[in-house]
Amino acid sequence: MKEIKSIIQLYNTYKNAGDRCAIAQVVRVEESSYRREGARMLVFESGVFEGGISGGCLEGDALQRSQIAILKQEPSIVTYDTSKEKEIGVGLGCNGIIDVLISPISDESPMMAMLQKCVSERGEHTIATVTALEGTLDSVSLGESFYYEAKSATLHHCANEELKAFIQDKVSEVHEQKRSKTYHYETETSTARIFIELIPSQFHLAIYGDNYDVYPMLEMAKVMDWDVSLTGNIQKLKKEKLQSVANLYPKDLPERPEIDNRTAVVLMAHDYKTDSANLLELIKSPAPYIASLGPRKRFDRMVMEFRSQGVEFSQEQQHRIFAPCGLEIGANTPEEIAISVFGEILAVFSEKKGGVLREKEGPIHERV
């Protein structure tokens, strides 16, 4: 989401200066690639760009090709085979085939409005894009994108009713599997490839605490561009350190953060009764990650007290509680602990174990 925000910011800065632009987007990957499907970069005719489609090995060529697409006002597909010795990127760690769709952006193009919607409204967003087209497909062109509205189960901007029905049917599969996917669509006169991209909501960090060790957590969240909510004694904290916090909740008032399935909760009040009461309430939420700072015996004491009150955590609830929390990396300082906790949060959201990649069998990224 951070990349999309940066692209929108640059677009809004330059759009009124008469500088035309295009979006280059990774739409297919075979084998290894630094960036995966969905990675974007916005390129202006002047050469200014934002975002990225690789680790730096493809951006220069993609920039030049984007300028050509802007000049012609025609979308195009560029295939990079970085496994070949003479291809761009050889020796830089890439060893795969990457399709990049380059689409000129005009005032009539709905793409920027779609991306703006993704950053403005919390929740999952789905965009379907025609990434290959052979033959003629009525009212459809290469590079055209359509936004799927989940509330109304409607695909917007698609004038071809048969393709619209096809995409709407496949969207349910994408949502069920929680991953973007490419589909092949065929008629008697055409063959098309449709990339259905699932853009999840931004990660949300909900901190319950007000001591100095919350600051490294806030700094990490700022770097990661996560939404942040903080509940605690607001007067106790330094105001200049809270600029990146979107939602502040004084602990003495009843209002609390909205918790969803993209929220990581960290209990770090360093007060046993406060953390215990917060845990008892937050376990009712859909948060997949609830962390409690402190040693295991502290959490075990909480569990014993809950049982004495007739409260027993289910296996599903126990699976979502991380106490002690963080990856075992030898963290001691507040900054190191913040890195440890953030690493664990990412592993949980990605459904990974958080181990050492050197010991991982198979490729780093799952092959599609």
Q: Which residue in the block uniquely carries the two structure tokens 């951006």? A: 59
- In angstroms, the CA 314 to CA 318 distance is 6
Among 48, 77, 105, the domain-final residue is: 105
Counting DSSP H helices and E strands in the chain, the numbers are 9, 16
Q: What is the dihedral of CA 127, 131, 135, 141, to 10 degrees?
A: 50
Among 168, 199, 230, the domain-final residue is: 199
Same domain for 244 and 341?
yes
Residue 187 lies in a domain: yes
- In angstroms, the CA 193 to CA 143 distance is 10
Residue 30 neighbours by CB distance under 10 Å: 14
Residue 110 lies in a domain: no
Beta-strand relationship, 289-292 and 263-267: parallel
Q: What is the pTM of this model?
A: 0.81
Largest CA distance in the chain: 73
pLDDT for 105 equals 87
Among 157, 183, 199, the domain-final residue is: 199
Q: What is the CATH number of the domain that holds 217?
A: 3.40.50.720
List, for the chain, all residue ranges whose pLDDT scores fall below the cut of 50: 89-92
Same domain for 172 and 212?
no
Give the residues across from 26 on adjacent strands.
100
- Burial of 146-160, coded b for 16+ CB within 10 Å and e otherwise, reads bbbeeeeeebeebeb
Which residue range is the domain that position 152 belongs to? 121-199
pLDDT (tens digit, 9 = 90+) per residue, 344-358? 999 999 888 888 777
Give CA angle at 134 (133, 138), nearest 5°.
70
Side-chain-facing half-sphere of 201: CA atoms under 13 Å: 14
Task: Calculate what percentage of the chain has a pLDDT beyond 70.
Answer: 93
Contact 119, 182 (CB under 8 A): no
pLDDT for 91 equals 47
Q: If DSSP codes are grouped into helix, strand and coil, which group holds residue 345? A: helix
Same domain for 143 and 239?
no
Same domain for 170 and 192?
yes
